[in-house]
């Protein structure tokens, strides 16, 4: 069984370069621990479906030898954006929404006099969210001899949110240099709150534009139709 795994692994590295595998694995890691596939599975799936799509288009269309390469080229390059990047963007939104409550609870835990490790454990186990799950699973690595700072560094590799990674970095530095973690967290919470307010204002500012577009597309033609309907009826009669 081990020989077969080694053979498969060596075969895959002959088909795909190490740089390509590492590149996609880094992006897939950002989907979190709940993600069920890896770079090899994705690359194999993309290659197989591309070949099938090419053969189908070649068989269906008379000009398949022209259409198939173009369509497969587009499919091959756009698939990572659909399968990986879109999920990463959705996950950023979920994690950013979780962040403020998680770090508020963490700050309250630290204010009771607990150390950082204990406060993180209490916070991650008392909250049911995507961010809490990632912290909870990461802290389990400390049972195998890793330090808290190593755990936090590894956690950043699975977090696609720059905001959260910046907070994790500040927590690590505060833990290393002995700075006030509570003060750092309060500053970061204020930053998250301000960011959410600005994002909400940006969404609100787009509403008039969306209403205007809808009005132009639906209501203006309807009004013109009502105004011109007598003339149209008279012309047709």
Give me the mean pLDDT over the 184-204 stretch.
85
pTM comes to 0.77
Rounded distance between C-alpha atoms, residue 172 and residue 169, angstroms? 5
Task: Quickly state the pLDDT bin for 1 (edges 50, 70, 90).
Answer: very low
In tens, the pLDDT along 51-78 reads: 999 999 999 988 888 899 999 999 999 9
Calculate what percentage of the chain has a pLDDT beyond 90: 53
Give me the mean pLDDT over the 151-178 stretch.
91
Stretch among 105-114, 182-191, 210-219, 220-229 having the lowest mean pLDDT: 210-219
Give the pLDDT score at 124.
Answer: 94
Is pLDDT at 7 greater than 50 in this prediction?
no
**Are 158 and 33 spatial neighbours (Cβ–Cβ below 8 Å)?**
yes
Rounded distance between C-alpha atoms, residue 217 and residue 221, angstroms? 7
In tens, the pLDDT along 204-235 reads: 777 776 666 666 676 667 777 777 777 777 67
Token look-up 């709150």 returns: 193
Give the pLDDT score at 9.
Answer: 53
The domain defined by 93-196 folds into Receptor-associated Protein (1.20.81)
Rg (CA), the chain: 27
The ranges assigned to domains in the chain are: 2-90, 93-196
Give the pLDDT score at 209.
Answer: 67
Give the pLDDT score at 2.
Answer: 44
Is pLDDT at 10 greater than 60 in this prediction?
no
Rounded distance between C-alpha atoms, residue 19 and residue 176, angstroms? 33
127 Cβ contact partners less than 8 Å away, ≥ 6 residues apart: 98, 101, 102, 105
Q: Is 179 helix (H, G, I), strand (E, B) or coil?
A: coil
**What contacts 24+ positions apart, CB below 8 Å, involve 17-25?**
24/80, 24/84
**Are 163 and 198 spatial neighbours (Cβ–Cβ below 8 Å)?**
no
- Cα angle vertex 123, ends 112, 191, to 5°? 85
């Amino acid at each position: 069984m081990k020989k077969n795994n080694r053979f498969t692994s060596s075969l895959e590295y002959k088909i795909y370069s190490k740089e390509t595998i590492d590149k996609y694995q880094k992006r897939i890691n950002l989907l979190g621990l709940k993600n069920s596939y890896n770079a090899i599975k994705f690359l194999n799936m993309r290659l197989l479906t591309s070949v099938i799509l090419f053969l189908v288009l070649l068989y269906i269309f008379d000009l398949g030898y022209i259409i198939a390469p173009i369509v497969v080229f587009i499919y091959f390059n756009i698939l990572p954006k659909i399968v990986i990047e879109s999920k990463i963007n959705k996950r950023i939104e979920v994690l950013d929404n979780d962040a403020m409550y998680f770090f508020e609870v963490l700050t309250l835990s630290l204010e009771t006099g607990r150390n950082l490790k204990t406060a993180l454990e209490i916070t991650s186990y008392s909250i049911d969210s995507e961010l809490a799950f990632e912290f909870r699973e990461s802290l389990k690595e400390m049972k195998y001899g890793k330090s808290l700072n190593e755990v936090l560094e590894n956690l950043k590799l699975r977090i696609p949110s720059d905001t959260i990674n910046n907070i994790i970095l500040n927590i690590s530095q505060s833990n290393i240099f002995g700075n006030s973690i509570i003060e750092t967290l309060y500053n970061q919470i204020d930053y998250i709150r301000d960011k959410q307010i600005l994002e909400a204002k940006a969404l609100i500012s787009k509403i008039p534009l969306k209403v205007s577009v809808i009005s132009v597309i639906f209501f203006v033609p309807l009004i013109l139709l009502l105004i011109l309907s007598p003339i149209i009826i008279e012309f047709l009669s």
